[in-house]
């Protein structure tokens, strides 16, 4: 009881000291508070991340229209035809929907209060801004609708999302239950669609990402409460002189740190609120959020509020353990106890021991033990902070020789290697974690990234016009588009053995000779030719079906889905074989290749026999609606906005045309989200650590002001001093990054083994992460050069 | 200006203000090779500023400084730094030794800044430390030696490049009189034997008594006491 | 300085002739002013009269008779008492310099010049003393230091007065 009261009294006194002591005292307390505040803000933001994910998910769910899985239903008072009209503008995705309400009770999408009339659209605020700015000129052409209103927040998943709902007419005939559908509600729970269970490896990734991001923040906070340490020592000595005992003094010191961290909590909350607001106005890697998403869960917020001040007290007490505070000054125990290696090695080894039992578990054997994973990763990373001071001390003690700048730096490091190591700890932990993660990502990437099979040499864009899409001049219109080199138009469809409910079918591909040559090796080709493909990867029985003179049916009817049932007769002569090649489609196609003349001729006979003298154009149009048309485009890379021009043409040809830019791989979207999260987090953490490095660097420089001035007085080149500052940071950083790489690679290998993936060192990511770490140091050094130059002015001598 | 005949360093009409505070208001100065000149005056009179101007650390607002026939005003910062490195030496009151370096490394520093190899620089440094009777401190760090010893190390450092002028700003200010006198004796002796000029800023008459001549600075103006009598 | 006590003190180490005494005195204390032999003779007669010394023996020679003196018990007590009694600190309340400065102010002469002239003179003396100190032995150093500290005190007074000259002028001239 008495001790508790004494503790409280001493701590309170320390808190008072933290803010007393005039301008200098305030500055120091503020510095600590800002440091802690930044850390706290980041912690609060992180605790809000689960909320962000769930809110985004809920909003996405609420506006889902599930065009793919709608049961067939008739037009009614409560139906709405919705068409997917997504597009891409530059690197940004635009979510677009065409809406045609079919009755007064048609469902409104969330965030929209009335349906836009045909030719009008409601847009997200970000899209509105884009369309009215000069950057949006090309997109404006693509969306030729009048802006009639904006989509409210609840209809959007992010503040910077580009989205529109446009009113349309005559959508019903195009319902295909893939991109166009008739729905009765948004956000419907579709039977049979269960929420995806999270993959254990993905959960492992998320766990590790969080641990890896939060560790450096903790290290940073620990460093922040020690800002201004050397001045504080003098003050502590003065306290001893007036009679406080050693323990009291320590408690008072802890109280000072407590004061700073309490103020830091307040500042952190303010920073968080500012950051929360600011978060609404930024978009990172295509992801934006609304401030309202960023509500930290109360339990985690309370944990932060308690843990941070408590940690500041503990860190201070721990830091003072090797220090004797005497009335006449602070003595670092004369011969500082040589840093011992064994307990420092124990931490990472312990971490490995915790992770080891899970090696080889993979994704098939259920969830990973979260506590073991977190604990193991934590111990490994804490091991970095424990090992680094030892390594820095051991290495620096062996350094010697070199230029004056080098000598100044090395000697300084030898005298206070602990300070140097502390400065670097944060970066080392962040880099170690990031390397491990990158390695894990690279290792499991194969599992989550599918090769698209697209050959980018043959085409860079593909426009899917669908059935009935575009009309006959579509190819011409693309050919006339700016930035397009060549256009390959192919129409696909299938021939069946019966008009209704066929049992067998063969695919056909229609195109001119040049287009057909993209799919097969043709000995010769004229309009009117028909080829049967050989050597296909899959053969669905075309050869059995395709017999000369046999009549087959294009677009047959199914029970619930009436088709056009166009008869087509296999020519009696001239059916030639052609070897399928792996070209434009990314696989070897099968079935028949038809030139347009052959298609018309085969259908012509049949049509002529059923319908009397149908005009050629009517035949073409009916054939066109039975085939789905694809346009493959080769672009002129020297035209910067070629893709945009193509998309605009596509939109003009058919608002529902789907223009895709080809990529060679496609990543799983969830995987992409985690990876983006990691990059954002790592960037924040490294920036934060950079800031703290800068603060402590400047503080050190200020304390050496007089010395610097006198060095300049006797003619030291500014370059020499600048270089010595650089070395002073670069040496520990280099060691830190080296250790970080070793630990990161170890952790990465273990995590990969845990996910049962092949262990492979991803050197580019190791290099890029260490490079970023080194870049932070360089930036900090550069930023501290102007103040250094100011300090080196002779004014420093004047105070004497 | 025309420097007094035979003078090594001479200044005329020096003016320097720090904001509203006028530190120098038309001060003049001259020193011959090998001469020891004391600059005295009450604190705040501008004597340190005079020293900083003479040494090319601070650029005066007006007036000229001739060193060996060259006008410091026409030199850029790099040239003045080079001059300070090679031709001048400095002793300050305190806070001038780099705490991380050993004493001998501190003394060798100016030589190394001039590009001398480490080994040779430290050899020369050791010779000078021997002359100032502090060679036994070579491997110690400044934090481990007494004030008087530290100041002798500083003197050794000021002399190690065999400069033509040593600027000493209150070199004994932090020392007791016995240590102060020893430092002054060693400084002036060593300087005279190498015919190095010494500009000695001090407020102590007994320290000034080691000089050949005295200049008093009052309110930014200088007075050569030799001409008074 | 009390020559009598000094000579008595020198005798404490053993009997000496008058001439020896003079030589010892000059060597140790009389750097500036050596003693006249007459001074020694008259002082010794006075001490003899008071019973503080006694004649230990007389040597006959060519010149004047040479007495050998020895200290008595009373003499030793007297030296002891002298050494134990502190010297009265000199108050220096009557300063010629002060008079000069005030006079200059009263007669509207340049008082600052007087102070500077004096200052230069003081420093010249200090330089000479410092030089002698450097060349001399420990005794020289201590003696010179004594003088240096006094001169320094004067010099400080000169500096202070120079700084307060305007105030002093008001105080002296106005009433």
- Interface predicted TM-score (ipTM): 0.79
Instruction: Report residues of chain A scoring pLDDT below 50.
Output: 192-196, 333-335, 606-615, 799-800
Domain ranges of chain C: 3-84, 96-173
CB A289 within 8 A of CB A158: yes
For testing contact with chain C, the best of B35, B42, B207, B209 (most C CBs within 10 A): B209
CB A236 within 8 A of CB A320: no
Category of A107 on φ-ψ map: left (φ > 0), alpha (ψ -120 to 50) or beta: beta
**Is A26 in the same domain as A128?**
no
**Is A484 in the same domain as A373?**
no
| Residues contacting C89, CB < 8 A, separation 6+ | none
> Is residue A169 a part of any domain in this protein?
yes
Phi and psi for A562 in degrees, rounded to 5?
A: -65, 140
Q: Taking CA A305 as the corner, what is the angle to CA A303 and CA A307, rounded to the nearest 5 degrees?
A: 60
CA dihedral B208, B209, B212, B215 (to 10 degrees): 40
| Residues contacting A30, CB < 8 A, separation 6+ | A263
Query: Which B-chain residues 4-43 have CB contacts (< 8 A) with chain C?
Result: 42
CB A523 within 8 A of CB A538: no
CB A769 within 8 A of CB A431: yes
Question: Could you tell me which chain B residue has the CA closest to the CA of C131?
Answer: B210
Residue B100 has its nearest CB partner, among A411, A713, A717, at A411
B108/chain C closest Cα distance in angstroms = 29
**Is A494 in the same domain as A613?**
yes
Residue range of the domain that includes A163: 65-183
> How many domains is chain A partitioned into structurally?
4
For A205-271, give the DSSP string.
HHHHHHHHHHHHHHHHHHHHTTTTHHHHHHHHHHHHHTT--HHHHHHHHHHHHHHHHHHHHHHHHHH
**Is A212 in the same domain as A227?**
yes
| B58 contacts A716? CB cut-off 8 A | no
The rounded distance, in Å, linking the Cα atoms of A212 and C114 is 80
A634, A663, A692: which is the final residue of a domain? Answer: A663
3-state secondary structure of A372: helix
Phi and psi for C46 in degrees, rounded to 5?
A: -65, -45
Residue A404 has its nearest CB partner, among B92, B99, B113, at B113
Phi and psi for A220 in degrees, rounded to 5?
A: -65, -45
**Is A675 in the same domain as A728?**
yes
For chains A and C, having 3+ Cβ pairs within 8 Å is answered no
CB A117 within 8 A of CB A167: yes
| Residues contacting A521, CB < 8 A, separation 6+ | A578, A579, A581
The rounded distance, in Å, linking the Cα atoms of A355 and A349 is 10
Q: Is pLDDT larger for residue A14 or for residue C120?
A: C120
The rounded distance, in Å, linking the Cα atoms of A52 and A37 is 22
A638, A663, A688: which is the final residue of a domain? Answer: A663
Q: CA separation (Å) from A236 to A29, A230, A336, B212, C156?
A: 15, 10, 20, 47, 39
| Residue C110 at interface with chain B, using a CB cutoff of 8 Å | no
Q: CA separation (Å) from A92 to A287, A362, A461?
A: 10, 35, 16
> Is residue A498 a part of any domain in this protein?
yes
Mean pLDDT over residues B203-225, rounded? 88
Question: Could you tell me which chain B residue has the CA closest to the CA of A413?
Answer: B100
Burial classification of residue A328, based on how many CB atoms lie within 10 Å of its CB (0-12 exposed, 13-18 middle, 19 or more buried): exposed
User: What are the tens digits of pLDDT across the range C22-68?
Assistant: 888 887 776 667 788 888 888 888 988 988 888 888 876 665 667 88
Report which of A687, A681, A676 is spatially closest to residue A287, judged by C-alpha positions.
A676
Task: Name the H helices within C3-95.
Answer: 3-11, 18-28, 37-49, 73-84
pLDDT number for residue B125: 93
Q: In three state form, how does the secondary structure of A603-617 look?
A: HHHHHHHHCCCCCHH
Chains touching chain C, criterion 3+ CB pairs below 8 Å: B
| A717 contacts B81? CB cut-off 8 A | yes
Q: CA separation (Å) from C154 to A431, A715, B47?
A: 70, 39, 22
Instruction: Please count the other Cβ atoms lying within 10 Å of the Cβ belonging to residue B181.
Output: 22
**Rg of chain B (C-alpha set):** 17
Exposure string over A369-407, b if 16+ CB within 10 A, otherwise e: eeeebbbbbbbbbbbbbbbbbbbbbebbeebeeebbbbb
Most confident among A295-304, A478-487, B32-41, B141-150 (mean pLDDT):
B32-41
CB A410 within 8 A of CB B94: no
Q: Which residues pair with A97 in a beta bridge?
A: A84, A165
Exposure string over A614-642, b if 16+ CB within 10 A, otherwise e: eeeeebbebbbbbbbbbbbbbbeeeeeeb
> Is residue A316 a part of any domain in this protein?
no
Phi and psi for C36 in degrees, rounded to 5?
A: -80, 150
| A715 contacts B85? CB cut-off 8 A | yes
> Is residue A324 a part of any domain in this protein?
no
Q: How many helices (H) and strands (E) does chain A have?
A: 23, 22
Residue A794 has its nearest CB partner, among B52, B88, B95, at B52
Q: Distance of alpha carbon A256 from its chain centroid, rounded?
A: 40
Report which of A494, A505, A489 is spatially closest to residue A595, judged by C-alpha positions.
A489
Its pTM stands at: 0.61
The rounded distance, in Å, linking the Cα atoms of A597 and A571 is 12
pLDDT number for residue A614: 44
- Interhelix angle A246-279/A298-319, nearest 10 degrees: 140
Most confident among A567-571, B9-13, B71-75 (mean pLDDT):
B9-13
Burial classification of residue A54, based on how many CB atoms lie within 10 Å of its CB (0-12 exposed, 13-18 middle, 19 or more buried): exposed
H/E element holding B184? helix B177-193
CATH number for C3-84: choose from 3.40.50.1980, 2.60.120.860, 1.10.10.10, 3.40.50.300: 1.10.10.10
Report which of A427, A403, A422 is spatially closest to residue A726, judged by C-alpha positions.
A403
Q: How many CA atoms lie within 13 A of A700 on its CB side?
A: 20
pLDDT number for residue B124: 93
**Is A616 in the same domain as A692?**
no
CB A784 within 8 A of CB A698: yes
| B205 contacts C126? CB cut-off 8 A | yes
Q: CA separation (Å) from A740 to A208, A434, A598, A658, A685?
A: 16, 9, 67, 46, 15
H/E element holding A389? helix A370-398
Q: How many CA atoms lie within 13 A of A48 on its CB side?
A: 22
pLDDT number for residue B167: 93
pLDDT number for residue B35: 92
Chain B residues near residue A396 by CB distance under 8 angstroms: none
User: What are the tens digits of pLDDT across the range A751-778?
Assistant: 888 877 777 777 877 787 788 878 887 8
CB A133 within 8 A of CB A127: no
| Residue B109 at interface with chain A, using a CB cutoff of 8 Å | yes
The rounded distance, in Å, linking the Cα atoms of C19 and C44 is 11
**Is A561 in the same domain as A701?**
no
A183, A206, A238: which is the final residue of a domain? Answer: A183
The rounded distance, in Å, linking the Cα atoms of A715 and A107 is 80
> Is residue A758 a part of any domain in this protein?
yes
Q: CA separation (Å) from C32 to C27, C138, C147?
A: 10, 16, 12
| Residue C99 at interface with chain B, using a CB cutoff of 8 Å | no
**Is A634 in the same domain as A764?**
no
**Is A433 in the same domain as A468?**
no
For B18-81, give the DSSP string.
ETTEEEEEEEEEEE-TT-EEEEE--TTSSHHHHHHHHTTSS--SEEEEEETTEEGGGS-HHHHH
| Residue B100 at interface with chain A, using a CB cutoff of 8 Å | yes
The rounded distance, in Å, linking the Cα atoms of A493 and A503 is 16
**Is A671 in the same domain as A652?**
no
Burial classification of residue C98, based on how many CB atoms lie within 10 Å of its CB (0-12 exposed, 13-18 middle, 19 or more buried): middle
The rounded distance, in Å, linking the Cα atoms of A292 and A282 is 14
| Residue B223 at interface with chain C, using a CB cutoff of 8 Å | yes
Burial classification of residue A583, based on how many CB atoms lie within 10 Å of its CB (0-12 exposed, 13-18 middle, 19 or more buried): buried
**Is A481 in the same domain as A598?**
yes
For testing contact with chain B, the best of C117, C118, C126 (most B CBs within 10 A): C126
3-state secondary structure of A494: strand
Phi and psi for B196 in degrees, rounded to 5?
A: -90, 135
Does residue B127 have a pLDDT over 90?
yes
**Is A42 in the same domain as A76?**
no
> Is residue A311 a part of any domain in this protein?
no
Q: In three state form, how does the secondary structure of A283-306 look?
A: CECCECCCHHHCCCCHHHHHHHHH
Phi and psi for B225 in degrees, rounded to 5?
A: -70, -15
């Amino acid at each position: 009881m008495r001790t508790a009261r004494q503790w409280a009294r001493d701590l309170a006194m320390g808190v008072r000291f933290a803010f007393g002591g005039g301008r200098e005292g305030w500055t120091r307390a503020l510095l600590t508070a800002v440091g802690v505040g930044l850390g706290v803000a980041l912690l609060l933001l992180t605790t809000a991340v689960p909320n962000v994910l769930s809110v985004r998910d809920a909003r996405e769910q609420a506006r889902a229209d599930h065009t793919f899985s709608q049961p067939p239903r008739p037009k009614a008072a409560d139906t709405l035809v919705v068409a997917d009209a997504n597009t891409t503008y530059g690197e940004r995705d635009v979510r677009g929907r065409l809406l045609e309400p079919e009755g007064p009770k048609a469902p409104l999408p969330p965030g929209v209060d009335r349906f836009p009339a045909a030719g009008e659209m409601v847009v997200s605020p970000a899209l509105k801004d884009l369309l009215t700015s000069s950057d949006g000129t090309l997109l404006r052409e693509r969306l030729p609708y009048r802006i009639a209103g904006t989509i409210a927040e609840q209809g959007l998943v992010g503040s910077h999302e580009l989205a529109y709902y446009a009113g349309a007419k005559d959508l019903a005939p195009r319902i295909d239950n893939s991109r166009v559908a008739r729905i009765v509600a948004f956000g419907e729970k579709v039977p049979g669609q269960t929420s995806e269970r999270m993959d254990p490896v993905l959960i492992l990734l998320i766990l590790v990402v969080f641990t890896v991001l939060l560790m450096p923040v903790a290290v940073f906070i620990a460093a922040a409460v020690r800002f201004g340490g050397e001045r504080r020592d003098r003050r502590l000595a003065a306290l001893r002189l007036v009679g406080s005992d050693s323990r009291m003094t320590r408690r008072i010191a802890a109280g000072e740190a407590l004061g700073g961290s309490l103020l830091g909590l307040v500042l952190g909350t303010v920073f968080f609120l500012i950051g929360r607001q600011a978060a609404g106005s930024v978009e990172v890697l295509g992801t934006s959020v609304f401030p309202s998403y960023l509500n930290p869960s109360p339990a985690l917020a309370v944990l932060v509020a308690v843990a941070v001040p408590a940690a500041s007290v503990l860190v201070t007490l721990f830091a003072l353990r090797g220090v004797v505070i005497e009335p006449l000054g602070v003595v670092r125990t004369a011969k500082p106890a040589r840093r011992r290696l064994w307990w420092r090695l124990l931490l990472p080894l312990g971490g490995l021991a915790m992770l080891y039992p899970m090696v080889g578990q993979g994704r098939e054997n259920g969830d990973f033990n979260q506590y073991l994973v977190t604990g193991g990763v934590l111990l490994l990373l804490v091991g970095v902070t424990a090992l680094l001071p030892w390594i820095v001390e051991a290495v620096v003690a062996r350094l010697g020789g070199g230029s004056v700048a080098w000598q100044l730096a090395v000697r300084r490091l030898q005298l206070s290697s602990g300070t140097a190591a502390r400065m670097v700890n944060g970066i080392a932990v962040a880099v170690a974690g990031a390397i491990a993660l990158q390695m894990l990502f690279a290792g499991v990437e194969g599992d989550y990234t599918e090769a698209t099979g697209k050959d980018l040499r043959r085409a860079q864009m593909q426009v899917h016009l669908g059935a009935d899409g575009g009309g006959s001049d579509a190819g011409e219109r693309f050919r006339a588009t700016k930035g397009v080199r060549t256009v390959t138009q192919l129409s696909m469809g299938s021939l069946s053995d019966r008009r209704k409910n066929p049992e067998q079918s063969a695919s056909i591909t229609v195109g001119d000779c040049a287009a057909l040559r993209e799919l097969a090796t043709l000995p010769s080709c004229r309009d009117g030719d028909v080829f049967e493909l050989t050597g296909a990867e899959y053969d669905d029985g075309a050869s059995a079906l395709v017999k000369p003179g046999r009549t087959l049916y294009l677009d047959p009817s199914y029970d619930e889905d009436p088709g056009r049932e166009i008869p087509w007769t296999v020519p009696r002569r001239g059916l030639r074989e052609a070897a399928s090649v792996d070209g434009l489609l990314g696989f070897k196609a099968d079935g028949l290749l038809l030139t347009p003349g052959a298609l018309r001729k085969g259908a012509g006979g049949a049509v002529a026999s059923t319908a009397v003298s149908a005009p050629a154009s009517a035949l073409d149009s009916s054939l066109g609606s039975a085939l789905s048309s694809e346009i493959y485009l080769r672009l002129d890379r020297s035209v910067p906005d070629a893709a945009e021009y193509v998309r605009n043409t596509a939109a003009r040809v058919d608002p529902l045309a789907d223009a895709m830019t080809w990529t060679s791989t496609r990543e799983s979207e969830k995987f992409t989200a985690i990876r983006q999260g990691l990059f954002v987090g790592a960037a924040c953490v490294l920036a934060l650590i950079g800031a703290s490095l800068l603060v402590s660097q400047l503080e050190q420089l200020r304390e050496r002001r007089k010395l610097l001035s006198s060095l300049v007085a006797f003619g030291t080149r500014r370059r020499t001093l600048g270089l010595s500052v650089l070395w002073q940071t670069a040496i520990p950083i280099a060691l830190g990054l080296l250790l970080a790489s070793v630990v990161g690679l170890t952790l990465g290998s273990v995590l990969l083994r845990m996910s049962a993936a092949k262990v492979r060192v991803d050197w580019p990511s190791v290099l890029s992460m260490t490079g970023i770490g080194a870049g932070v140091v360089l930036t900090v050094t550069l930023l501290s050069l102007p103040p250094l130059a100011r300090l080196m002015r002779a004014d420093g001598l004047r105070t004497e | 200006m025309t420097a007094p005949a035979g003078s090594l360093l001479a200044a005329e009409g020096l003016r320097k203000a720090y904001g509203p505070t006028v530190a120098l208001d038309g001060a003049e100065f001259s020193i011959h090779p090998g001469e020891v000149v004391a600059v005295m005056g009450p604190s705040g009179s501008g004597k340190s500023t005079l020293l900083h101007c003479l040494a090319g650390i601070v650029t005066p607002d007006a007036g000229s400084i001739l060193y060996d026939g060259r006008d410091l005003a026409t030199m850029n910062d790099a040239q003045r730094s080079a001059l300070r490195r090679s031709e001048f030496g400095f002793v300050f009151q305190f806070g001038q030794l780099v705490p991380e370096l050993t004493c001998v490394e501190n003394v060798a520093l100016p030589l190394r800044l001039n590009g001398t190899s480490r080994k040779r620089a430290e050899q020369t440094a050791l010779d000078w430390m021997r002359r100032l009777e502090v060679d036994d401190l070579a491997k110690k760090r400044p934090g481990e030696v007494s004030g008087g010893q530290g100041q002798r190390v500083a003197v050794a450092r000021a002399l190690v490049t065999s400069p033509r002028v040593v600027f000493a700003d209150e070199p004994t200010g932090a020392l007791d009189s016995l240590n102060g006198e020893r430092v002054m004796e060693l400084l002036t002796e060593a300087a005279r034997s190498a015919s190095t000029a010494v500009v000695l800023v001090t407020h102590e008459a007994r320290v000034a008594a080691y000089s050949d001549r005295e200049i008093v600075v009052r309110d930014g103006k200088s007075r050569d006491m030799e001409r008074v009598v | 300085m009390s020559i009598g006590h000094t000579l008595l003190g020198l005798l404490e180490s053993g009997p000496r002739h008058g001439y020896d005494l003079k030589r010892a005195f000059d060597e140790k204390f009389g750097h500036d002013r050596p003693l006249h032999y007459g001074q020694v003779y008259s002082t010794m007669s006075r001490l003899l009269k008071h019973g503080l010394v006694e004649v230990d023996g007389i040597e006959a020679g060519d010149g004047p008779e040479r007495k050998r003196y020895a200290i008595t018990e009373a003499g030793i007590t007297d030296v002891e008492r002298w050494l134990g009694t502190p010297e009265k600190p000199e108050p220096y309340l009557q300063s010629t310099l002060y008079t000069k400065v005030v006079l200059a102010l009263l007669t509207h002469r340049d008082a600052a010049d007087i102070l500077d002239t004096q200052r230069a003179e003081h420093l010249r003396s200090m330089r000479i003393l410092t030089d002698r100190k450097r060349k001399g032995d420990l005794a020289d150093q201590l003696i010179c230091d004594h003088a240096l500290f006094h001169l320094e005190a004067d010099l400080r007074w000169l500096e202070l007065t120079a700084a307060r000259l305007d105030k002093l002028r008001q105080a002296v001239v106005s009433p």
